[in-house]
Amino acid sequence: MKSFEPSKTQRCAAVWAHRLHRWAGAALLAAVAVSAVQAQTNTGPASGEASVVPTPAASAPVVVPNATPGATPTTVPAHGAAEHAEKSRRAHLRRLQERLDTPAEELKRSCRFESEISTLPPPGVVALTFDDGPEPGHTEAILATLAREGVPATFFPIADKAERYPALIERMRALPGAVVGNHTWSHPNFHDIAVTEQLQEIDRSDALLRADAAPAMLFRYPYGNSSCDANTRAHALGYRIVGWHVDSCDWAYAGPEGLTVREALSCGVLPAFRHDMVGHVLSGVRAHRGGIVLMHETHENTVQALDELIHRLKADGYVFTTPADPVFAASLR
């Protein structure tokens, strides 16, 4: 691990480079990028900082039932990836425009973006999270990689898909240290549906999760779009709301052309990483010195990038846990 310790100014510059999509445009992103690159010379937790969570022993890999040993398959079937990418693109670009057009006080008062985490994560700790499963073919490959590397993860499945593929949900739960949270029944954009529908989405998913097992009391909004009424219902049911420090933007990396400028801004992707998803996630984790990472089971590029991402995070000295770990308490709502 490198011993270089960045100054507070350098670290703040890197963090804000990954948050500029919340309130600024492309010119400001370019202005901060130089400082962010300097901060990235620190590739892992600070020298002398104790790891908060023990990493699983490499000599005793975790085994998921029926997981196939060996490398993750290089080709897996696509399952609605194009539709998911388009819906995600529209939601991200709409959020970017809304942030540029709407006063911050109004956005806060309306609770529209509760998934955006403003607090820094515990240093040296990463929580990998996977939304929108289960996806036959993709889910098994992700679980096999996590099991082989001894890495826990958090899954936020869409409940109507979970009902169709209960065996895959059981395999998620069988991964030691893994947790399964509430991600609504059908994954609607809460900014486009009535409050009554929002509450039904949360309640119906909650009922399914509780019928199968005691759920991890974690809730994540589809597309990260929230409302005050939905917050109240989720909290009344006992959930903590889970956002993310680093958005992998995996939906935008599916094609060879890379991210557009607006897509990059919407996810906090620095110009150097518009064709490099693993590089972008590493850059975001390094800037925050850890954090909750958002990914999706829907996309093949996520499945294929996972092994490299885990290896590079381990090489930097990061350890893995889930948002249910008390060390992430300050990052949840």
| Whole-Å CA distances, 323 to 207, 307, 326 | 22, 21, 8
Q: How far apart are CA 248 and CA 1, in angstroms?
A: 24
Task: Quote the tokens at residue 75.
Answer: 């080709």
The per-residue DSSP string of 22-61 comes to GT--HHHHHHHHHHHHHHTT--SSPTTPPPSSPPPPTTS-
On the 0-12 / 13-18 / 19+ scale of CB atoms within 10 A, 75 is exposed
296 catalytically annotated: yes
Quickly count: other Cβ atoms within 10 Å of residue 26's Cβ. Answer: 14
| Whole-Å CA distances, 241 to 114, 117, 218 | 8, 10, 6
| β-bridge pairing 125-131 and 319-321 | parallel
Look up tokens 């909650």; give the residue: 206
Q: How far apart are CA 227 and CA 299, in angstroms?
A: 27
Task: Quote the tokens at residue 226.
Answer: 């929230």
Length of the chain, please? 333
Q: How far apart are CA 146 and CA 28, in angstroms?
A: 37
On the 0-12 / 13-18 / 19+ scale of CB atoms within 10 A, 270 is buried
Query: Pick from 67, 32, 221, 250: which is nearest to 147 by CA?
Result: 67
Quickly count: other Cβ atoms within 10 Å of residue 43's Cβ. Answer: 17
Among 18, 84, 92, 131, which one carries the catalytic annotation?
131
**Could you give the angle at which helices 8-17 and 277-288 cross, rounded to 10 degrees?**
140
Among 191, 296, 299, 316, which one carries the catalytic annotation?
296
Query: Pick from 296, 204, 211: which is nearest to 249 by CA?
Result: 296
131 catalytically annotated: yes
- Tell me which residues are annotated as active site: 131, 296
